[in-house]
Amino acid sequence: MDHWPKDVGICAIHVVVPSLYVDQTDLERYDRVSKGKYTVGLGQKQMGFCTDLEDVNSLCLTAVSQLIENNGISYSDIGRLEVGTETIIDKSKSAKTVLMKLFEASGNFQVEGIDTTNACYGGTAALFNALSWIESSAWDGRLAVVVAADIAVYAKGNARPTGGAGAVAMLIGPGASLVVERGLRGTYMNHTYDFYKPDLSSEYPVVDGKLSVDCYLNALDRCYESYLSKCRGGDVGLNRFDSFVFHAPYCKLVRKSLARLYMNDFVNGVGANDENHRHQNWADAEKTFVELSKTVFEDKTEPSLLLASRVGNTYTASVYSGLASYLLSVPHERLPGKRIGVFSYGSGLASSMYSIRVVDNGGLPGLIGNLKKGVDRLDKRMRLTPEQFVNVLDFRQKSLHRAPYVPVGDRGQLFPSTWFLSGIDEMHRRFYERNE
């Protein structure tokens, strides 16, 4: 349709990583598990985490403010702001309303959008909402911002090494360098209890690990089948993509996911509509296809795992951290023309697959340069011991929902320009300041 804005997609990306991390080899020794259980078995190297100074609101404040500042735009230029998160700290007040604090000086209070929640899928739903707004009659010509942020923490046990924390903020508009391809989207939704958070007094989820992996892989099959059915002409299958990024609960599952798509291509649709046959094929051939797809994985997907391996699972931000990692792995002059496949999964469950086309419009050098500002902080983080990590998580759990409350975390450990929780009053009202 001629009236659609041209090249709608992602104009800029900013990544926020916590200033603290624990090394997974240290955690293996502390937990007294076999060497390599977390580093080889899960594919994880490090895990970022936050003290009581940071919550989902502060992560979002940091991500949005730094995105705006790095790209030299005004808050008046923003007409929609969407938040995707599952780290809920209030049953009514959205994180988006807290972010309006950033807009006060500009006098811009006409900003649509609120929070979207469904496990790790919220960031993708928020992105789709922003894209739809720009392509709708409601669009007023301004830009949109999408921020996905979460703090992933688990009770002591097998799931704890798959935690993490972080945020990704994206500037959405026409004339983008990363164009979301219109009409190419596969979605699969279903009702499951693979991962959920019924206890509002705790940050910890209830997890059925085996069921969650099965649900993830089944959703991947369904979305891939749906996406490919909408393609017209050219390569069909993995050959269609120069890169493929996945939601990454842990890196080893991403490795298996790429092999899963490779297998689906290999069997060329045999049993594609028979779920039992598909799962039987996988059970029999997983190791074989992981090995057969090794070169494809190294080329198309491994570069997207930089942040996932060193920060951990960031829930709604995870797949967009993968996108950011891939963009930094390729010289920007070689990016134009590449097609990136994206698979987003959220337990419960909601999932989608879509694709991004990189276009040469002069904006890529700036996008990559600004993106590096956040990712370069990986090497400036502070490594804490497993004992310190456990103490932080225990203290977060004990202090959850306390009011009045003043955080005890060390502000000196925060990166510059980080927003933090300065206090909670007796009415549970939260107050934030910026670390300069």
Q: Give CA separation, 242 vs 208, 283, 301, 371, in Å.
A: 33, 28, 9, 20
CB within 8 A of 298, min separation 6: which ones? none
Burial of 173 (0-12, 13-18, 19+ CB in 10 A): buried
247 in active site: yes
Report which of 127, 90, 55, 20 is spatially closest to residue 346, judged by C-alpha positions. 127
- Mark whether 86 is an active-site residue: yes
Question: What per-residue string of b and e applies to 253-285 under the rule 16 or more CB within 10 Å gives b?
Answer: bbbbbbbbbbbbbbeeeeebeeeeebeebbeee
339-346 and 206-207 as β-strands: parallel, antiparallel, unpaired? unpaired
Which of the following is catalytic: 120, 215, 223, 251?
120
The helix or strand, by DSSP H or E, that contains position 343, with its residue range, turns out to be strand 339-346
3-class SS at 42?
coil
* Residue 428 annotated in active site: no
The residue behind tokens 């070169």 is 295
- 83-84-90-93 Cα dihedral, nearest 10 degrees: 30
Per-state percent for the chain, helix, strand, coil, to nearest 5 = 40, 25, 35
Cβ atoms < 10 Å from Cβ of 217: 19
Catalytic residue among 247, 251, 302, 332: 247
DSSP character string of 187-250: EEE----SEE---TT-SPPEE-HHHHHHHHHHHHHHHHHHHHHT--SS--SGGG-SEEEE--SS
Separation between Cα atoms, residue 140 and residue 249, nearest integer Å? 37
Structure tokens at 171: 């500037």
| Annotated catalytic residue within 28, 86, 112, 203 | 86
Whether omega for the bond prior to residue 407 falls within 30 degrees of 0, making it cis, is no
**Dist. CA 314–CA 333, nearest whole Å:** 29
Angle, CA of 349, 186 and 233, to the nearest 5° = 165
User: What are the residue numbers of the active site?
Assistant: 86, 120, 247
